[in-house]
């Protein structure tokens, strides 16, 4: 166990510290900022050597427990080991490695993050959050009402992780009509009394804005015990750091080797975990941001301009989980990029983003964003035609079927392969079964449905339609709390 681990808000110039279990249940900081460790723990060469043996001998859960101990000093070490062991088990995860890594082709690998109960990478964090929430709520004798927003996979992963857990309700906002039939069926087919699905009249960014508006109402949040599972919750990113480490360990033979990662992303959560792993000292060469047509993040890393789009300019694409134009986790990276200047972050994300965005193009900090010796980011964009062509090629030539998001990541990885000297691990987003329409367009056939999902589309739907209005959502939450026991 480390001596002391404190957390600070990206917008708190006073650096007021908080402890892990406090921010676990709270989500956003009171000032609207996002929590990060006051200092990133550092991974030594000796630790990497020990972890290589640990992963080989005892598996992913044992490695996860060791990483958690670096970030948490207010839960006993033995309890963290038990929590990790419950979160990462088979058959909850379909593969005994939890996150297997396979070579797709020369220079490009796939990190398989979709072996969990909802066939999406979000399970990697959500299964851990479910255990952490239930543990801490029981320790405190409290309840929690989780409010989240999903563009596709976060919702089902959260609901499957939290369903039936004592002391927890889940209120999940979805953009009405914007998810695939399989994604909707996974969520809306649950009839657990502690799960509440809300279809909001808007796009994902509208859902996220409502979550932030509710969370910003300090009195409402306190009185109704509102918590978060979206990637604004630090514990999500902490859990995701683990699979960067495990993937690096699985494809290297010595600690001197570097690996790059291509990460399909819209909300900057998955790749932000890679940024944190790199800051901790994991030998990562490049972090390649792969976007779809909603290319706000690609534009930033090419130009230094961060220009979030309004809802009516956010395109509905065939990689819908990335149909996001305001990247919630991007604030964490910019905080590090500008030397952890909380005042600048409060201005950028609290003021300027609401007025169209900001530019760091002429800022002396910006070159470090893409400098391999600095933060090491690269980026690229993939279109519908690109992802269909990639899915078709990998299936016909390599016998591997990719989901559309992972195809975006592979396309961009291929674009960068000749410009860097390290192997690239493309992080998988989901299994192809969740995006059957695009798979059929690309390959002429339906994706295989794993046996555990055979009956998903037949379940009765349980969902409430609401307007895009934070006050209406608040009323629904209050009414639901009054009428359901957990």
Q: Average pLDDT of the chain?
A: 94
Check residue 152 and give its pLDDT. 67
How sure is the predictor about 1, in pLDDT bands with cuts at 50, 70 and 90? very low
Does the pLDDT value for residue 231 go beyond 80?
Answer: no
Q: How confident is the model at residue 208 (pLDDT cuts 50, 70, 90)?
A: confident
Q: Is the peptide bond before 123 cis (omega within 30 degrees of 0)?
A: no
Q: Determine the pLDDT at residue 153.
A: 74
- Which position has the token pair 């994706």? 447
Q: What is the mean pLDDT of residues 299-313?
A: 94
Distance set, CA 105 to CA 283, 394, 416 (Å): 22, 9, 14
Q: Which of 69, 122, 212, 411 is catalytic?
A: 122
* Annotated catalytic residue 122: yes
pLDDT for 455 beyond 90: no
Over residues 209-226, the pLDDT tens digits come to 999 899 889 899 989 999
| Residues 317-328 as b or e (16 or more Cβ within 10 Å = b) | bbbbbbbbbbbb
> CA 199: distance to chain centroid?
21
Q: What is the pTM of this model?
A: 0.91
Q: Does pLDDT of 192 surpass 80? A: yes
Is pLDDT above 90 for 177?
Answer: no
Confidence at residue 183, expressed as pLDDT on a 0 to 100 scale: 83
pLDDT in tens, 407-446: 999 999 999 999 999 999 999 999 999 899 999 999 999 9
State the architecture of 101-118+234-443 in CATH terms.
3-Layer(aba) Sandwich (3.40)
Query: Span 21-45, mean pLDDT?
Result: 91
């Amino acid at each position: 166990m480390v001596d002391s681990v404190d957390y600070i808000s990206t917008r708190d110039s006073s650096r007021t510290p908080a402890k892990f279990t406090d921010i676990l249940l709270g989500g956003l900081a009171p000032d609207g900022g996002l929590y990060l460790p006051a200092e990133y723990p550092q991974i030594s060469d000796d630790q990497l050597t020990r972890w290589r043996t640990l992963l080989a001998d005892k598996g992913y859960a044992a490695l996860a427990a060791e990483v958690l101990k670096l970030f948490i000093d207010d839960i006993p070490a033995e309890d963290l080991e038990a929590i990790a062991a419950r979160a990462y088990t088979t058959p909850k995860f379909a593969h005994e490695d939890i996150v297997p890594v396979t070579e797709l082709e020369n220079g490009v690998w796939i990190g398989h993050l979709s072996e969990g109960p909802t066939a999406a990478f979000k399970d990697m964090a959500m299964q851990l959050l479910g255990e952490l929430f239930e543990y801490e709520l029981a320790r405190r004798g409290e309840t929690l009402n989780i409010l989240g927003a999903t563009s596709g996979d976060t919702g089902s992963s959260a609901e499957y992780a939290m369903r039936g857990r004592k002391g927890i309700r889940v209120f999940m906002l979805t953009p009405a009509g914007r998810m695939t039939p399989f994604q909707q069926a996974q969520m809306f087919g649950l009839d657990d009394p502690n799960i509440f699905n809300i279809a909001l009249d808007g796009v994902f960014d509208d859902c996220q804005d409502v979550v932030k508006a509710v969370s910003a109402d300090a009195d409402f949040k306190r009185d109704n015990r509102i918590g978060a599972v979206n990637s604004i919750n630090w514990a999500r990113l902490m859990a995701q750091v683990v699979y960067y480490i495990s993937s690096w360990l699985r494809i290297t033979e010595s600690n001197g080797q570097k690996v790059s990662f291509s990460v399909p992303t819209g909300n900057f959560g998955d790749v932000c975990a890679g940024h944190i792993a790199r800051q901790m000292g994991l030998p990562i060469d490049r972090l390649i941001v792969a976007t779809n047509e909603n290319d706000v993040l690609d534009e930033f890393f090419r130009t230094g301009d961060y220009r979030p789009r309004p809802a009516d300019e956010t395109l509905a694409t065939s990689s819908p989980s990335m149909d996001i134009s305001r990247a919630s986790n991007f604030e964490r990276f910019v905080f590090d990029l500008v030397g952890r200047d909380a005042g600048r972050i409060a201005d950028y994300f609290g003021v300027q983003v609401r007025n169209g965005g900001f530019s760091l193009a002429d800022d002396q900090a910006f070159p470090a964003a893409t400098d391999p010796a600095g933060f090491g980011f690269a980026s690229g964009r993939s279109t519908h035609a690109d992802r269909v062509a990639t899915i078709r090629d990998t299936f016909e030539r390599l016998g591997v079927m990719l989901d559309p998001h992972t195809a975006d990541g592979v396309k961009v990885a291929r674009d960068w392969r000749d410009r860097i000297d390290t192997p690239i691990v493309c992080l998988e987003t989901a299994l192809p079964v969740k995006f059957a329409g695009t798979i059929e367009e690309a390959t002429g056939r339906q994706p295989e449905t794993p046996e555990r999902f055979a009956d998903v589309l037949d379940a009765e739907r349980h969902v409430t339609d609401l307007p895009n209005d934070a006050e209406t959502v608040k009323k629904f939450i209050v009414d639901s709390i009054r009428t359901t026991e957990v």
